[in-house]
């Protein structure tokens, strides 16, 4: 691994540890540790945090992909260049709802919309 990647991995680990600390603080405030919690309660909180991170990561990744798309794209049917716009929609991933921003183009001559690749 190069130095940049190692640094990024260390930063991610540090942020994940901080998120874990914040989760425990919330659990403490909710009184979870007044008695010995069942392990499934601790596991559920960790899984919930993981699902939230997954959804946020998916949103950010899709936004990055959309940002790479050009201002115009060729219609797959007729080949004419059409203006590309960004459109939001929500999909349900295995981890929960994810708001996507995806490139869409409309070809009036063909009377169709298409989703250009980045």
Q: Is pLDDT of 73 > 90?
A: yes
pLDDT in tens, 34-68: 999 999 999 999 999 999 999 999 999 999 989 88
Residue 89, helix vs strand vs coil: strand
Kindly state the percentage of the chain with pLDDT values over 70.
98
Q: Is pLDDT of 103 > 90?
A: yes
User: In which region does residue 86 sit, left (phi positive, over 0), alpha (psi from -120 to 50) or beta (all else)?
Assistant: beta
Q: Where are the domains of the chain?
A: 3-114
Q: What does the pLDDT read at residue 117?
A: 80
Q: What does the pLDDT read at residue 5?
A: 96
């Amino acid at each position: 691994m190069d130095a940049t990647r190692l640094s990024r991995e260390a930063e991610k680990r540090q942020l994940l540890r901080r998120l874990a600390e914040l989760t425990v603080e919330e659990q403490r405030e909710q009184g979870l540790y007044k008695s010995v919690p069942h392990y499934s309660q601790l596991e559920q909180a960790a899984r919930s945090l993981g699902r939230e991170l997954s959804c946020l990561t998916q949103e950010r990744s899709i936004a990055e992909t959309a940002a790479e798309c050009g201002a115009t794209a060729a219609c797959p049917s007729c080949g004419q260049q059409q203006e590309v716009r960004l459109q939001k929609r929500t999909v349900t991933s295995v981890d929960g709802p994810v708001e996507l921003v995806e490139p869409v183009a409309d070809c009036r001559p063909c009377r169709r919309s298409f989703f250009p690749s980045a």
